[in-house]
Amino acid sequence: MYSLPSQSSPAPLTLSVFFEGTHNEIEPVTTQVGWFFEATCGVDITNKDVQADPSTSTDFKMGFDGCGVVCGLLGTVFAFGLSAQCSAVVQRVHELLQSGRPLRLNCFGLSRGGCACLMLARRLSDISPEQLLISLLLFDPVPGNSITAARHLDVCGLSTCAACMDVRACRPLRSVLALYPYEVPSHMRPRPTRTPAPTPPLVPPTPNPNS
């Protein structure tokens, strides 16, 4: 049984992460991803030299340029750069969790940035939902290759689609919303997850004095 937060319960931390589309920059604003990043309140810890200090703030954010901006042709064709961006977020997640406080991770990605959100969720699959809850908003996630090709041709699982196709094993995943601006044939769009099972509130359990 999970109870409502008590006055002694530590306030959860929030990290909001924004991944731009392939050829878009987070700053200056070029898409809605950059706009949401700019409008989100929180300490920008994208730069590794900026300290993530939970004693001074409970809200943090990170924003990333598109992989085509960061890695040029290799980013455009093969989505190079997404893995490094996900690694930077994973490092920050573990830094924030060291405070002993639960963490809410909200991710918003456009196009290849949507795939980065899914890749990130897979990287964090083993963290307990009592420590971390993940919510994903994916706008037109496009890996660059279809599910059919990933399943039957990518035997080594090296494609972008294979890296983000299935997040059902992600324990802290709370919700996923994928939005497409047009109808996409089912064999061409990634189906990243089944509906996640309901998870308890992000509050540590407390003993019932009447039990």
- DSSP string covering 144-162: SS-HHHHHHT-TT--SHHH
- Residue-wise pLDDT for 72-82, tens only, equals 998 887 778 89
Neighbours of 24 (CB within 10 A): 20
pLDDT classification of 154: cutoffs 50, 70, 90: low
- Residue-wise pLDDT for 181-195, tens only, equals 776 555 555 554 444
Cβ contacts of 70 within 8 Å, gap of 6 or more: 64, 81, 85
Place of tokens 């997850």: 193
pLDDT at 138 exceeding the cut of 50: yes
- Residue 193, SS3 per DSSP: coil
Neighbours of 40 (CB within 10 A): 18
Neighbours of 47 (CB within 10 A): 8
Could you give the angle at which helices 67-78 and 112-123 cross, rounded to 10 degrees? 90
Neighbours of 112 (CB within 10 A): 28
User: What is the value of pTM for the model shown?
Assistant: 0.78
Residue 147 CA to residue 162 CA, distance in Å, equals: 8
Mean per-residue pLDDT for 21-28? 93
Q: In whole angstroms, what separates CA 198 from the centre of its chain?
A: 18
Which residue type is seen at 50?
Answer: V
The pLDDT of residue 196 is: 46
